[in-house]
Amino acid sequence: MWSVRNRLIVLGFVLLGAFQVGIAQPHSTIIPKRNSPYSRFGLGDPVTQYYAAQTGMAGMAASFNNHSRANLVNPASLAWMRFTAFEVGLSARRSSLSEEQTDGSTDLWSGNLRNLSLAFPLRNSINQVVDRRRAKFNWGMSFSLQPFTEVGYNLELEEPLSEGDGENTETFVNSLKGTGGTYRLVWGNGFRYENLSAGFTVGYLFGQITNSRRVTLANVGGAGSSYASEFLDEISVRGLTWSVGTQYQLVLQLDEDTNFAEKSITFGAYGNSATSFNTRADQFYSRDNRALTPVTDTLVYSENVENTGRLPAQFGFGAMYHDLNKLRLGVDASFTNWSGYENGAKPEELANAYRFAAGVEWIPDIEAFNNYLQKIRYRLGTFYGTDPRTVNGQQLTEYGLSLGIGLPLIRPRQQTSYIDLAVEVGQFGLQQAVRDTYIQMTVGFTLNDNTWFFKRKFN
pLDDT band at 186 (very low <50, low <70, confident <90, very high): very high
Is the pLDDT reported for residue 13 higher than 50? no
Residue 181, pLDDT score:
94
Residue 254, pLDDT score:
87
What is the pTM assigned to this prediction?
A: 0.85
Give per-residue pLDDT as tens, 312-322. Answer: 999 999 999 99
Q: Are 61 and 73 in contact (CB under 8 A)?
A: yes
Task: Please provide the average confidence, as pLDDT, over all residues in the chain.
Answer: 84
Task: Tell which residue, 171, 161, 172, 157, has the closest CA to residue 40.
Answer: 157
Q: Are 353 and 336 in contact (CB under 8 A)?
A: yes
Task: Tell which residue, 92, 96, 95, has the closest CA to residue 30.
Answer: 92
- Could you tell me which residue, 106 or 240, shows the higher pLDDT? 240
pLDDT band at 10 (very low <50, low <70, confident <90, very high): very low
- Could you tell me which residue, 170 or 427, shows the higher pLDDT? 427
Give every CB contact of residue 13 below 8 A, 6+ residues apart in sequence: none
Give first-to-last CA distance, the chain, whole Å: 26
Give per-residue pLDDT as tens, 21-75. Answer: 444 433 333 333 567 889 999 999 999 999 999 999 999 999 999 999 999 999 9
Q: What is the dihedral of CA 48, 69, 380, 265, to 10 degrees?
A: -110
The CB density around residue 187, as the number of other CB atoms within 10 Å, is 14
* Range among 5-14, 114-123, 405-414 rated most confident: 114-123
Distance CA(259)–CA(328), nearest Å, equals: 20
Distance CA(82)–CA(125), nearest Å, equals: 6
Residue 31, pLDDT score:
37
Is the pLDDT reported for residue 226 higher than 60? yes
The CB density around residue 228, as the number of other CB atoms within 10 Å, is 17
Q: Are 284 and 301 in contact (CB under 8 A)?
A: yes
- Return the amino acid letter for 138: N
Is the pLDDT reported for residue 294 higher than 70? no
Task: Give, in order, the Cα–Cα distances in Å from 99 to each of 153, 171, 267, 440.
Answer: 16, 21, 42, 20
Distance CA(374)–CA(367), nearest Å, equals: 8
Residue 14, pLDDT score:
45
* 84-99 and 104-121 beta bridge pairing: antiparallel
Residue 313, pLDDT score:
97
Give per-residue pLDDT as tens, 254-267. Answer: 877 767 789 999 99
Query: Counting beta carbons within 10 angstroms of the beta carbon of residue 181, is it exposed (0 to 12), middle (13 to 18) or buried (19 or more)?
Result: buried
Is the pLDDT reported for residue 459 higher than 50? no
Give per-residue pLDDT as tens, 346-379. Answer: 999 999 999 999 999 999 998 888 899 999 999 9
Share of the chain above pLDDT 70, in %: 79
Residue 452, pLDDT score:
63
Distance CA(434)–CA(41), nearest Å, equals: 14
Q: Are 203 and 186 in contact (CB under 8 A)?
A: yes
Q: Where are the domains of the chain?
A: 4-449
Residue 246, pLDDT score:
98
* 434-449 and 415-429 beta bridge pairing: antiparallel
Q: What are phi and psi of 132, to 5 degrees?
A: 60, 40
Is the pLDDT reported for residue 17 higher than 80? no
Give per-residue pLDDT as tens, 368-409. Answer: 888 999 999 999 999 999 999 998 889 999 999 999 999 999
Q: Determine the CATH number of domain 4-449.
A: 2.40.160
* 314-323 and 415-429 beta bridge pairing: unpaired
Residue 21, pLDDT score:
41
SS (H, E, C) the chain: CCCHHHHHHHHHHHHHHHHHHHHHCCCCCCCCCCCCHHHHCCCCEECCCCCHHHHCCCCCCCCCCCCCCCCCCCHHHHHHCCCEEEEEEEEEEEEEEEECCCCEEEEEEEEEEEEEEEEEECCCHHHHHHHCCCCCEEEEEEEEEEEEEEEEEEEEEEEECCCCCHHHCCEEEEEEEEEEEEEEEEEEEEEEECCEEEEEEEEEEEEEEEEEEEEEEECCCCCCCEEEEEEEEEEEEEEEEEEEEEEEEEEEEECCCCCCEEEEEEEEEEEECCEEEEEEEEEEEEEEECCCCCEEEEEEEEEEEEEEEEECCEEEEEEEEEECCCEEEEEEEEEECHHHCEECCCCCCCCCEEEEEEEEEECCCCCCCCCHHHHCEEEEEEEEEEEEEEECCEEEEEEEEEEEEEEEEEEHHHEEEEEEEEEEEEEEECCCCEEEEEEEEEEEEEEEECCCCCCCCCC
Residue 191, pLDDT score:
97
Residue 285, pLDDT score:
83
Strand partners, 441: 92, 423
Q: What are phi and psi of 128, to 5 degrees?
A: -70, -35
Residue 307, pLDDT score:
95
Is the pLDDT reported for residue 280 higher than 70? yes
- Could you tell me which residue, 288 or 271, shows the higher pLDDT? 271
Residue 134, pLDDT score:
62
Average pLDDT over residues 136-150: 93
Would you put residue 369 in left (φ > 0), alpha (ψ -120 to 50) or beta?
alpha
Distance CA(197)–CA(137), nearest Å, equals: 9
